Structure 1
Amino acid sequence: MSSELDKEPDTTSEITHSLVNMITELDGVPLPPVVKKNFFKAVNRLITEIVEVPATWLESKSQAIRDKTNARSLITTESAKAAAKKFGSDEKLIERAVDYYGTRILREQYNREAITKAALKELSSSSPDDATNQEIDEDWLDMFSSIAEKRSNQEMQLYLAKLLAGEIKKPGSFHPLTVEVLARLTPDIARNFQNICNISTVISGFDPKNNSVICLVDNSPFIITEPYGQPGENALSELGFSYVVLTQLQDAGLIQYDFQAWRELYVANFLLPIEVGGTVLQFTASEASSQEFLQEKRRVKVINFTTAGIQLRRIVDKTPNEKFLEKLKNWVSSTYKLQSI
């Protein structure tokens, strides 16, 4: 994440000025027109609240909020004065109220601008291949804006920026409930979620009738726990996922509550590319393996993600857990008589 996310809100004008420059450069980024339009709609909702977003207006805005004094002066309106008269003429009380709300408004503006700027960087560095022609939903942006302005933590701002960039590219990718789940996460729970994504798996489906590969729903990521045992009995503690940590992830709405869950997989599933924590494993069968054996179904203990967990896994930067990878490869080899390539 940009180091600008660490700065005090006094420097909001610098972020706005930099954002103006990046918007000017946006025409040089190879993004479909609808994606650019979605980004400008996001800028409108999170930063400007006007219909159009001319760079000259953003520049004037940058000048207008160059320090806290100017920001606070925006709040001292005639309606505020009328309210002050109604509740008394204590000038110090009025001054404290203006100071409080001025600081809060500036902080919220800073948070929204920092996240929007980081989202633009995400868009600039990602592939537009999966973008659609759908426009981003205004209600979704309203909800996102109200959440984004409250998050000052750098790690959480990065997650929100990635989520916003993903929704701009492909509206509908992140359900409103997913945004609310992310809004409730603490940095510690977010890090634990990232770590459990590092041991999560995506396996393509296998259709034995047609002897062909099929895609599981939403790529259906899950955590294979079979090599370790029951997760509810601290079987994953050596990987950092004690029962307490797992229940925290459950309560956060990221993984499902059933620690007795299993999936029925064909042996042939393990001959397909298996994505584990961002890396791909590949196995091969020996010549002695029969078609009947490869089409056998076997139950495998797993932890399943919730819908929010599935969607948020997409924006997590995954780094495979080498200890888990080794255990998984040994388990596949011994259980299914397959060899790692």
Structure 2
Amino acid sequence: MNPSTPLSRPLPAVPSAADFQLPEPLSARKIVVAMSGGVDSSVVAALAARTGAETIGVTLQLYDHGAAVGRTGSCCAGQDIRDARAVAERIGIAHYVFDYESRFRESVMEDFADEYMAGRTPIPCVKCNMGVKFTDLFTLARELGADCLATGHYVRRVEGPQGAQLHRAMDDARDQSYFLFATTQDQLDYLRFPLGGMPKGEVREIARELGLGVAMKPDSQDICFVPDGDYAKVVRKLRPDADDDGEIVHIDGRVLGRHRGLIHYTVGQRKGLEIGGLTDPVYVVRIEPEQKRVVVGPRSALAVSAARLTDINWLGGDFSGPLLAKVRSMARPVPARMEGDRLVFDTPEYGVSPGQAAVLYDEERVLGGGWIKETVGV
């Protein structure tokens, strides 16, 4: 589409050119912005346009356009695409939509279903970043001749002595570094994250001052393609046998009841087990997909001393010293160390689930991470 007339009034005085870390003159540069239709990527597009660089907004349609029309808390479909287009017109930049629905279904949604069927707890946001967003979108940005690809993620890109580093966002409540651990060094060299040093409130204020219609739009939910948070419904649609029932077994061998499908359970879960007659609470300790069995036990049975990681990604080379490890997106980082492919915790860690990611930090810097393959009990 052709860009519309730019805003006649000046943009608010906020950081701009420095956030994109590009050589002068900015008027000779081209920035591609990944626009999901939300407030964060919309503000990034506005900041990019303010630098004087040629700015192009790109939106990937990732899942069923029609089913997502009118939904809130989604991204990259339906109303979100229209919102991204409206923002681009408002700030006067070109905007393009590319259909990646089949690619997204194969690389993210099918994997999501398979992981649940295998008794693991998937993180589709990481898989999306690894594939569609930080691979396919990179290709598009480079084909458009862009000097960088900018996104609305809340992380910081810091130039270090050995090249670009990935750091946690200044606003801990908004930090998204856990979901970007698989970013490669080549990708990080090309990426820009202008919002990493801002609180969310400031981002919304910029959008409000600019008169953007998305200024108060709700944030997208973690799993964008799951209507109303009912992920089991999505898995059933992709894998009709997902609701096969089976035994719920205590770690001491007692059969306590039957479950209604492995997709309803995850390691560490306490609520929704529907087991009566127990005096003490029990938690899901592990899931055995071959036997279609859910194994439960006391909280002490959740303690693990180590986890074996696969597909480990290091940013800036291997790190052999003490580090901090985050094993769930909402978990606090805990002291640990790497011994080969084993992540060894200083003290027992609870609720470590195969399928999740272990993200490794040196204070604020992201060292990398890997996928949790299996755990070692205490």
TM-score over 0.5 for the alignment? Answer: no
TM-score (normalised: structure 2): 0.23
Larger strand percent:
2
What is the TM-score normalised by the length of structure 1? Answer: 0.25
Give the structure with the higher percent helix: 1
Which has the greater radius of gyration? Answer: 1
